[in-house]
Amino acid sequence: MRYGMVISLSRCIGCNSCSIACKHENGTGPGVFWRRVVITESGKYPQAAMHALPLLCNHCEDPSCAKVCPVKATQLDDNGMVTIDAKKCIGCRYCMTACPYNVRAYVKSNDKGYFDEGLTEYEKAVYGEHKVGTVEKCTFCAQRVEEGRDPACVATCPAKALFFGDLDDPASQVVKLLKDNPNAKTLKPEAGTKPKVFYI
């Protein structure tokens, strides 16, 4: 089993629904983003264009973050997911400097919410799960995948630009998409991390 994701850039409309769904599902606080959409511009008026690039942990096959983690808090599991054990993480942030994609986040507080009036009931319920002084990132929504559901970002995307599945299963939609799109790209292949998030 090797979970992976395919992102269709031609479908993505840069709406950030996935980023919000991720925050909602995983209860991350202000300043912590496990997923974001980078908007860039190219060309000059009247030939200007905007591009949206959704970024999340690539759950790399050769993850540099796991290689440098001094206490084995970050590891590649049997499902091909790169996980972080908050009980082991010492918050050294070596992994953040080693990840070529800048997709890890440092939890600096778990008692500051989004609103001036203090924490909402929802925030009170979810922020406690995030340990201050440790590093976090996308989990491929392991809690949902275990139940046979798609990750929250995939389920939410209004443009159906996101696909999730087992890269070892020839019948999975992700494998079919990669077969149909031989030009599928990964980010920064020269970093040698072998990402499992593909862009078509």
Q: Which residues contribute to the site for ligand SF4 (CB under 6 A)?
A: 21-22, 25-26, 34-35, 56-60, 63-65, 68-69, 71, 73-74, 82, 84, 89-95, 99, 101, 103-104, 135, 137-141, 151-153, 193
Q: Say which amino acid occupies 26.
A: N
C-beta closer to ligand SF4: residue 48 or 57 = 57
In angstroms, what is the minimal distance from the CB of 79 to ligand SF4?
A: 13
Residue 71 binding other proteins, by CB under 8 A: yes
Find all residues with CB under 8 Å of 93, minimum gap 6, and list them. 106, 135
Residue 132 binding result from other proteins, ligand SF4, none, given CB thresholds of 5 to 8 Å by partner type: other proteins
C-beta closer to other proteins: residue 62 or 168 = 62
- Give exposure, 65-94, as e/b (b: 16+ Cβ within 10 Å): bbeebeeebbebeeebbbbbebeebeeeeb
Residue 14 binding other proteins, by CB under 8 A: no
Sheet holding 197-199, edge to edge: 162-166, 3-7, 197-199
Phi, psi dihedral angles at 125 (to 5 degrees): -70, -35
Residue 188 binding other proteins, by CB under 8 A: yes
Among the listed residues 2, 11, 93, 144, the single contact to other proteins using CB under 8 A: 93
In angstroms, what is the minimal distance from the CB of 186 to ligand SF4?
A: 10
CA 150/CA 145 separation, integer angstroms: 6
Among the listed residues 58, 134, 139, 172, the single contact to other proteins using CB under 8 A: 134
Q: Say which amino acid occupies 109.
A: S
Phi, psi dihedral angles at 39 (to 5 degrees): -105, 125
In angstroms, what is the minimal distance from the CB of 134 to other proteins?
A: 6
Find all residues with CB under 8 Å of 118, minimum gap 6, and list them. none
Interface residues with other proteins (CB under 8 A)? 31, 38, 40, 53, 55, 64, 67-73, 87-94, 96-98, 100-102, 104-109, 131-135, 187-188, 191
